[in-house]
Structure 1
Amino acid sequence: MKLSDVHVREKIQAGDITIEPPLSEQQIGSFSIDLRLGNHFRIFKPTKSPFIDLGAVDSAYAMSEQLMEDIYIPDDGAFYLHSGELALGVTLEKLTLPNDLVGWLDGRSSLARLGLMVHITAHTIDPGWDGNITLEFVNIGQIPLALRPQMRICAISFEPLSSPSACPYTKKSHAKYIGQSEPLGSQIDKEQH
């Protein structure tokens, strides 16, 4: 069962959920919180490489790092996501969750109706999470979309677990994105086999 706005506010006031910078009233919905877009993006550079070999873990990571570049957009600027493009972005807000809550990230309906996907498949925010959230943008529409820093880009809701997690995200030996503050590319090379 997801937390209502009443219980989300209680968790924030108690310090169980921390969000920095502080939220505005417009960001708090009936059971979710709208998160805003940060200024840092990562995109794939044009390449002649025919593929990234996902079966060759070490080379897949190295290849993705070589193929990506960082882009910083000023507060008054825009990042243009063209039709069919994939780009990584990051939330402005840093989020810390307790060991007994899981977060569920969703795109905003108003943006989805224009063709924007914000989390291809990665929408679970683990108990014990601590960091900004990397967003996986794809424009499935036909017209480029201008994404502006600080716009409300996605929503997060919270669901209590049946007990605190015995192994929250920050305690996992194979956690690849602990404390991230920028959009990180695939860290598939850090997976245990």
Structure 2
Amino acid sequence: MRLCDRDIEKLIIKKKIIIDPAPNIEEINGLTLDIHLSNKFRIFKDFKNTVVDLKKSSENIKSKLQKGISNEIIINDNESFILKPKDFVLSMTVERISISDNLVGWLDGRSSLARLGLMIHMTSHRIDPGWSGNIVLEIFNAGKYILSLNPGIAIAALSFERLSGYSKRPYHLKKNSKYFNQSNIISSLIYKD
């Protein structure tokens, strides 16, 4: 069962959900909490012949990914990041989120932005029990318009569900918790699987 705004507020007070910077109470509505776009972006270089073969050895994938297929840029808070149609970029949330071992979080795009063609996650919208860090956003412009993304805008919403109990293997205790405590935009670490 998804938690309502009253329960989200109670869990924030009890520090079962930690959000830094703390949200304004008006940003918790019904069952979601608004989260905001940072000023950091990771753009991918246009390599026409680059193939990342996911069937090959992890060392092969690691060498391709570490050769610098992307660059991180930071824009001023008063600037805009221009996202053309069919462009893909990684960004992250302003907020650092930590959730208890008995909760799961769900990241959803905003309907008003989706109606312009903006997708903020490709498939990874689950925030695992025991996870902590800034959420990396997989942003894609599926629309026909050039979109101007401004740091600080409400880019997405989080909702939460209580699990039937405390997770036996929460994210922070997994051996291969690749993205735990991320505070930068981390590219794929698939080679660590």
Q: Is the 8 A contact 1:61 1:186 kept in 2?
A: no
Change (3 A) 1:67 1:3: same
**Alignment partner of 1:37 is 2:51:** no
**Alignment partner of 1:64 is 2:56:** no
TM-score w.r.t. the length of structure 1 is 0.95
1:36 and 1:22 mapped to 2: Cα distance? 12
- Deviation, structure 1 residue 114: 0.3
1:23 and 1:160 mapped to 2: Cα distance? 20
Match of 1:92 in 2: 94
Match of 2:54 in 1: 54
- Deviation, structure 1 residue 46: 2.0
Match of 2:7 in 1: 7
- Deviation, structure 1 residue 147: 0.9
- Deviation, structure 1 residue 126: 0.2
Classify the secondary structure of the residue corresponding to 2:38. Answer: coil
Q: Is the 8 A contact 1:44 1:87 kept in 2?
A: yes
Q: Deviations over 1:15-57 (max 9, x none)?
A: 1110000112332111110100111110111224342212223
Q: Deviations over 1:41-74 (max 9, x none)?
A: 1011122434221222332233234211111111
Change (3 A) 1:55 1:123: same
Question: Structure 1 stretch 94-103 or stretch 50-59: which is displaced more?
Answer: 50-59
Code of the aligned partner of 1:2: R
Q: Share of identical aligned residues, percent?
A: 42
Gaps of 5+ in 1: none
TM-score w.r.t. the length of structure 2 is 0.95
1:92 and 1:36 mapped to 2: Cα distance? 6
Code of the aligned partner of 1:64: L
Number of equivalent positions = 191
Residue 189 (structure 1) aligned to one of 185, 188, 191: 191
- Deviation, structure 1 residue 156: 0.5
Gaps of 5+ in 2: none
2:51 and 2:84 mapped to 1: Cα distance? 21
CA-atom RMSD, angstroms? 1.1
